[in-house]
Structure 1
Amino acid sequence: MTLTRNWISITAAGLLLSGCSSALTQNPDSSADALRLPGNQAGTHASPWETRATGSRDSIGRKARANTTAPPEDLWQLSRNHFELNLESDNPRVASQIRYYSKHQDYLDRVTDRAERYYHYILQQIIERGLPAELALLPVVESAYDPFAYSPSRAAGPWQFIPGTAKHFGLRKTWWYDGRRDIVASTDAALTYLEQLNKRFDGDWLLALAAYNAGGGTVSKAIRKNTKKGLATDFWSLDLPSETEAYVPKLLAIASLVKAPADYGVSLRALAVEPYFAIIETQGQIDLAQAAKMADTSSEEMALLNPGFSRWATDPEGPHRLLVPIDSAMQFENKLASLPAEQRVRWNRYRIQRGDSLSAIAARFNISTAAIRSANKLKSNRITAGKTLLIPGPANTSLAATVAQDGAAGTREKLSYKVRAGDSFWKIARSHKVSVSDLASWNKMTPRSTLKAGQQLTLWRDSSLASSAQRETLRKVGYSVRSGDSLSLIASRFSVSVADLKRWNGLNKGRYLQPGQKLTLFVNATDS
């Protein structure tokens, strides 16, 4: 396994500019070579962290670039050094957003706390590509820097990719993994997308940003409309969706606050210039709870650094890498090197019983049928009683319970629940800290099935990282009813039940949905 350090100490980078090399202060025993970006050699070219001096602007508001050896005080200062957009506008739309954000110091504090884990990496990627540093603030607008953010349009992750766009840019979604939430993969995809949009709109970043929100076709259509009327085709002159017309001003307003917080009566907690995490290649699947223990960090921290993984382990198909706190990177790498491959994920042996189905076995062990087929090299879902299946499970036995059936070692404890009057899948799932989709699957039902008082349900209780992550990813989503929508259609789209939809919104049988009506839903982001 290889420790892939595609990060660099910004303090060290400042020294590189003056012809020196330096090791990270957190790890004084590291060699200077270990700190260089892949392919870099000391002194062969300028550091990717060199700052840009303020100067004249070109026709579309970009700053002229110049080098300086002054080391940044923190990441906010580094961002300012690399700002390129025109933030000196007194546009009323921007001013309105500045007034809003400047009145919500508590919101800025929360976003800063969330961003601390990811901002160094994202800013680094932006600077290395030669892009405006304001783009590092785009996740503030998109998701408030919450990697588990989920929207009514089914956009997910810090950069809020919708399923179609995510697929186009190679962000995979499996039972194990969602690339939209992966910090490394989603950042690469988002910056590539933004570069393409910037090129499409002839280097105009405001149009590119508008297209990121509304789609390139929408912006192009608005430009064509203005061109036919002989009107200006800059962002401020276009007739765009109201959300998009506010979207770009939001980013410019936040960048203005970062540029001169004191001018607007706000404060920004300093973000250290040192990397928060290191990226370590694992060469295969690994249990996340075990990885957290090896890195001497909490399971919650491991989940926040690796939000792309939806279950208790990394995806067996990859990506085979983990983000771990920078201070424990060497420790983790050393322990990983000495860990036998067969101990990275626990394998349970299950003897197939008469009447079993692959889907029922998968539900019992909280795993997908595809994962079982892959582990056992099965070409279909057909199984034979008496045969034995290998079922992957958490490697950390202290986190594993015992399946109370046939003495099979497993990862979950079987429970029985009697449905009461007023119960719903959502209510039962939330009280037992499981997902609605799992609860329905265990009982060979769908989240939209009707429950009856007295009905017996089967639950499998898990104390592993997976259930912990699921508890953290329940998101409140506001939805605006569209023409042609029905309760069943909306429920199906978000994998919830009609009964829950009615209960959350106080709906009754005699009331019809109206276009524009606002609904509230509670959605598990890892299942959507």
Structure 2
Amino acid sequence: MGNTVILDTLPGRRPALSKGWFVLLLTLTILAGCQVNTDTSGEPWETDAQPQPEQVPLVVKEATAPSEPALPEAEAKAYQNLWQKIADAQTIAVPSHSEVTYFLGLNRNNGLFPINAPAAAEPWLYDIISELEARDMPLELALLPLIESGYHPGVKGLGGAGLWQLSAQTGRNHHLRVNQSFDGRLDPIPATRAALDYLLYLYEMFNNDWLSAVAAYNMGEGKLKTAIERNRRKGKAEDFLALGLSRNQAPTLYKWLAALAVLRDPQTQSASFPPIANAPVLAREAVPNGVALSNIAQAMGMSAKELSRLNPAFRDGIVPFSGKYQINLPESRLPALNAALVNLRPSTPGKGGSYQVKSGDTLSGIAKRHGMRLDKLLSLNGLNMKSIIKPGQQLRLE
């Protein structure tokens, strides 16, 4: 058989191989078990490498810039409609709860919030959402004024006033001016900052729970703390939904959640929430002291009623004689106001036409607010120091 070598592989019988054949077979075995090296770098192979797991084929993609962190849908999308932006925020979950269901039932009869409230939000909604975004707070909080005031800034309730229905003391605690001539709670832009300051304070107080924060905003910190303490004594959970509070105890919270559910449903949203453009509507500008809003409106070529509607914080319709103040006005009127400011001069003290007495007014207070002497006010109106004035009464100021 010439040089052919026959290997008997039966058990118990091993051929005696020469050293040369042994080396040849060992070399062939190593080569058969090796993968083809495709490395063209010229680096030597590592002879002591450990066995590697099976490699997944790589898909080579065109190099791109590092990707940005994923944003919530409401932030990543360019929205045309502000209501849709709020609906997509998805920061607050609407729980399945009997009280929420109750208020959803009221919505079918337009009883959840005033029917004109969503449209009334147009002048203010862009600024409120901008403030929420700047603070990284839930956009859903922009629905609270819908429940509290129907988005009407001049509304006064039992102890509260303005879009956010802040009490006078809460307003002052958060740097709003509240006095006889100016009520900062009725000025939506600074009132929004004050309300959000207060909500953030409550959020931190109640273990970073927005439901508890909104409930406390409505029912008061003390009452919510009492409910939480009652659960604590019983060894129960202390989050808001575990407290078992009824719609009579926390109506705003349940209405707010129901309104959010309405907004997130495309069918009810289209029926209840007319679109509001994602663009600023109003501007704010400083104005001189002592000028009547009616004079400012006339100088800008707009109706006095419309300017007063945007600025209900000026209780007498006049910019107070001391302090710095800004007015809200349509952005389109800003150039006209800037041109008119040169000619807008403070009114002569007492030159304000007439004044309608409000609850809590005093003769001395009215005279002071209008920059006139008390004896002149009394003389103009045939009054004396013992005279009694009543709400609704008209007083001459000149």
TM-score computed with the length of structure 1 as normaliser: 0.54
The answer to which structure has the higher strand fraction is: 1
**Match of residue 432 from structure 1:** none
Q: Contact conserved, 1:51 with 1:81, CA < 8 A, in 2? A: no
Structure-1 residue corresponding to 2:217: 212
- Which residue, out of 273, 290, 312, partners 2:317? 312
Does residue 1:145 correspond to 2:163, yes or no? no
1:157: Cα distance to partner? 1.3
Secondary structure of the residue aligned to 1:279 is: strand
Write the mapping of 1:384-395 to structure 2, written as runs, cut at 5 A.
none
Gaps of 5+ in 1: 1-45, 55-66, 350-361, 384-388, 392-402, 406-413, 417-439, 449-457, 465-528
Task: Determine which of 77, 82, 85 is the counterpart of 1:75.
Answer: 82
How far off is 1:81 after superposition?
Answer: 3.5
Distance 1:82 1:333 in 2: 38
Displacement of 1:313: 0.9
1:313 partner SS: coil
Whether the 8 Å contact between 1:134 and 1:255 is mirrored in structure 2 is: yes
CA separation of 1:288/1:441 partners in 2, compared to 1, >3 Å: closer, same or farther?
farther
Decide whether aligned partners of structure 1 residues 192 and 459 sit closer, same or farther in structure 2, where only a CA change above 3 A counts.
closer
The equivalent residue for 1:53 is 73
Q: Is the 8 A contact 2:113 2:147 kept in 1?
A: no
Conserved? CA contact 1:314–1:320, under 8 Å: yes
Equivalent residue number for residue 371 of structure 1: 369
Residue 328 and residue 223 in structure 1: after superposition, are their counterparts in 2 closer, same or farther (change >3 A)?
A: same
Q: 1:82 to 1:265 in 2, by over 3 A?
A: closer
Asked whether the equivalents of residues 263 and 269 of structure 2 are also in contact (C-alpha less than 8 Å), the reply is no
Shift of 1:142: 1.0
* SS of match in other structure, 2:185: coil
Residues 155, 163 of structure 2: 8 Å contact kept: yes
Partner of 2:347: 345
Tell me how far 1:175 sits from its aligned partner. Answer: 2.1
| CA–CA separation in structure 1 for the residues paired with 2:112 and 2:249 | 25
Q: Is the 8 A contact 1:51 1:78 kept in 2?
A: no
Partner of 2:92: 85
Q: Which moved more, 1:274-283 or 1:225-234?
A: 274-283
SS at match of 2:164: coil
Task: Check the 8 A contact 2:112/2:259 in 1, yes or no.
Answer: no
The answer to whether residue 136 in structure 2 is matched with residue 130 in structure 1 is: yes
Q: Take 2:92 and 2:141, find their aligned partners in 1: how far apart are those partners?
A: 10
Pick closer, same or farther for the CA change 1:75–1:404 going to 2, 3 Å: same
Spell out structure 1 runs of 4+ moving beyond 6 A: 440-443
| C-alpha deviation, 1:367, in angstroms | 6.9
Corresponding position of 2:22: none
1:73-472 alignment to 2 at 5 Å? 73-87=80-94, 89-104=95-110, 109-152=115-158, 154-240=159-245, 242-262=247-267, 266-282=271-287, 284-336=289-341, 338-339=342-343, 343-348=345-350, 368-371=366-369, 375=371, 444-445=387-388, 447=390, 459-460=394-395
CA distance in 2, matches of 1:138, 1:108: 13
CA distance in 2, matches of 1:441, 1:304: 35
1: CA distance, partners of 2:172 / 2:280? 29
Cα contact 2:140–2:260 (8 A) shared by 1: yes
Instruction: Give yes or no for contact 1:214–1:241 (8 Å, CA) kept in 2.
Output: no
Once the two structures are TM-superposed, the CA of residue 140 in structure 1 deviates from its matched residue by 1.3
Aligned partners of 1:296, 1:53: CA distance in 2, in Å? Answer: 41
Question: How far 1:121 moved relative to its partner?
Answer: 1.6
Confirm or deny: 8 A CA contact 1:181 1:308 kept in the other structure: yes
User: Would you say the 8 A contact 1:261–1:268 is kept in 2?
Assistant: no
Shift of 1:211: 0.7
SS at match of 2:184: coil
Q: By how many angstroms is 1:240 displaced?
A: 4.2
Contact 2:288/2:346 (<8 A) preserved: no
The SS at the match of 1:266 is helix
Shift of the 100–314 alpha-carbon distance from structure 1 to 2, 3 Å rule, reads same
SS class of match (1:309)? coil
Quote the residue 1:431 is aligned against.
none
Q: CA deviation at 1:265?
A: 7.8
Asked if the contact 1:285/1:318 (under 8 Å) is kept, the reply is no
What is the aligned partner in structure 2 of residue 437 from structure 1? none
Length, aligned pairs only: 321
Contact 1:145/1:158 (<8 A) preserved? yes
Amino acid at match of 1:368: I
Distance 1:280 1:250, change over 3 A: same
Query: Could you tell me the percent identity over the aligned residues?
Result: 24
- Per the alignment, in what secondary structure is the counterpart of residue 207 of structure 2? coil
Q: Over alpha carbons, which structure has the higher Rg?
A: 2
- Displacement of 1:212 in angstroms is 0.4
Would the alpha carbon gap of residues 221 and 320 (structure 1) be closer, same or farther in structure 2, given more than 3 Å must change? same
**RMSD of aligned alpha carbons:** 3.6
How far does residue 192 in structure 1 lie from its aligned partner after superposition? Answer: 0.2
